[in-house]
Amino acid sequence: MKKIVVLAKQVPDTANVTGDAMKPDGTVNRAALPAIFNPEDLNALEMGLSIGRKLGFEVHVVTMGPPKAVEILKHALYMGADHVRLISDRRFAAADTLATSYVLSEAVKKLGEVQLVLAGRQAIDGDTAQVGPQVAEKIDFNQITYVTQLKEVAADHIVVERDGETRSETIRTGFPVLLTVTAAANTPRFPNAARMLRFFRAGLESDFSKEELETAEPAGWVIPVWTLDSMGLDPARCGLNGSPTKVHKIKSITLKGTDLQLFEGNKAGIQELVQNIVKDYVEVER
The nearer residue to other proteins, 53 or 157, going by C-beta atoms, is 53
Sign of CA dihedral 40, 61, 133, 51: negative
The nearer residue to other proteins, 44 or 79, going by C-beta atoms, is 79
Chosen residue from 152, 200, 264, 272 binding other proteins by CB under 8 A: 200
- By the rule CB under 8 A, 190 interacts with other proteins: yes
SS3 284: coil
- By the rule CB under 8 A, 215 interacts with other proteins: yes
- By the rule CB under 8 A, 220 interacts with other proteins: yes
SS3 33: coil
| Cis bond before residue 188 (omega within 30° of 0) | no
C-beta separation of 77 from 84 below 8 A: yes
For other proteins (CB under 8 A), the number of binding residues is 18
C-beta separation of 203 from 222 below 8 A: yes
- By the rule CB under 8 A, 230 interacts with other proteins: no
CB 223 → other proteins: shortest distance, Å?
14
Alpha helices (H) in the chain, listed in sequence order: 39-55, 70-79, 97-111, 131-139, 193-199, 210-219, 228-231, 267-281
The nearer residue to other proteins, 83 or 162, going by C-beta atoms, is 83
Residue 182 CA to residue 165 CA, distance in Å, equals: 13
Chosen residue from 30, 110, 138, 198 binding other proteins by CB under 8 A: 198
- By the rule CB under 8 A, 183 interacts with other proteins: no
The nearer residue to other proteins, 72 or 99, going by C-beta atoms, is 72
Helix (H), strand (E), coil (C) string for 34-59:
CEEECHHHHHHHHHHHHHHHHHCCEE
CB 161 → other proteins: shortest distance, Å?
21
- By the rule CB under 8 A, 194 interacts with other proteins: yes
- By the rule CB under 8 A, 187 interacts with other proteins: yes
Q: To the nearest 10°, the Cα dihedral for 120, 105, 35, 230? A: 160
- By the rule CB under 8 A, 193 interacts with other proteins: yes
The nearer residue to other proteins, 26 or 220, going by C-beta atoms, is 220
Cβ neighbours of 112 (radius 10 Å): 8
Dihedrals φ, ψ of 67, to 5°?
-50, -30
Chosen residue from 2, 110, 138, 189 binding other proteins by CB under 8 A: 189
Chosen residue from 17, 154, 197, 278 binding other proteins by CB under 8 A: 197
The nearer residue to other proteins, 195 or 237, going by C-beta atoms, is 195
- By the rule CB under 8 A, 240 interacts with other proteins: no
Dihedrals φ, ψ of 152, to 5°?
-155, 140
- By the rule CB under 8 A, 155 interacts with other proteins: no
Chosen residue from 124, 195, 204, 227 binding other proteins by CB under 8 A: 195
Residue 81 CA to residue 229 CA, distance in Å, equals: 26
- By the rule CB under 8 A, 35 interacts with other proteins: no
Which residues here bind other proteins, judged by CB under 8 A?
Answer: 187, 189-198, 200-201, 215, 218-221
